[in-house]
Amino acid sequence: MIMAQAQGLGKRYIKAFLKGFFVAVPVTVTFLDRVACVARVEGASMQPSLNPGGRQASDVVLLNHWSIRNYDVQRGDIVSLVSPRNPEQKIIKRVIALEGDIIKTIGYKKKYVKVPHGHIWVEGDHHGHSFDSNAFGPVSLGLLHARATHILWPPQRWQKLQPMLPPERKPLHREQE
């Protein structure tokens, strides 16, 4: 009698676990893919805004997918994107210019570039230590992964990341004001 009750409870637990599993896993995966996730920043290409401490203390940032679901980015946003040279890697850079802007490049094969339709120009804040549009040119908006909105770790660096365009990197001519 007790054995039968225990078996019944066991079956109910398994059923409840499976039911919860099939709800929790798709919802969590969809949330991490479509709404927001966190990521650790590696490298020095965005110093001093991100990772000022170098390898000893990597920043952990909150990546917001939802805000770029319509590919609305502003100049100065810090965004993560799929690397055009290596699709297995994500890179995190600042948006410098949008489609239609004409900018002066730093070390690119052409001195002045007009950003084509559907593309953006990204650069790391640490010029010279950054693999960015100055190396691979304008990137397609389709490669955009998320916008970095907050630094979550270490606690002394908790902050909201504001879109900030360095004045010396302003485009020479803006398509829309």
Interacting residues toward other proteins by CB under 8 A: 22-23, 25-27, 29-31, 33-34, 70-71, 82-88, 116-119, 139-144
CB of 2 to other proteins, least distance (A): 36
User: What's CA 137's distance to the chain center, in Å?
Assistant: 18
Instruction: Tell me how far apart the alpha carbons of residues 151 and 124 are, in angstroms, rounded to a whole number.
Output: 17
Rounded CA separation 61/90 (Å): 13
Closest approach, Cβ 68 to other proteins, in A, equals 10
Q: List active site positions.
A: 45, 93
Q: Find the shortest distance in angstroms from Cβ 13 to other proteins.
A: 21
Residues contacting 114, CB < 8 A, separation 6+: 100, 101, 102
Nearer to other proteins among residue 107 and residue 116 (C-beta)? 116
Residue 99 contacts residue 128 (beta carbons within 8 Å): no
- The smaller minimum CB distance to other proteins, of residues 90 and 150, is found at 90
145 vs 170 by CB, closer to other proteins: 145
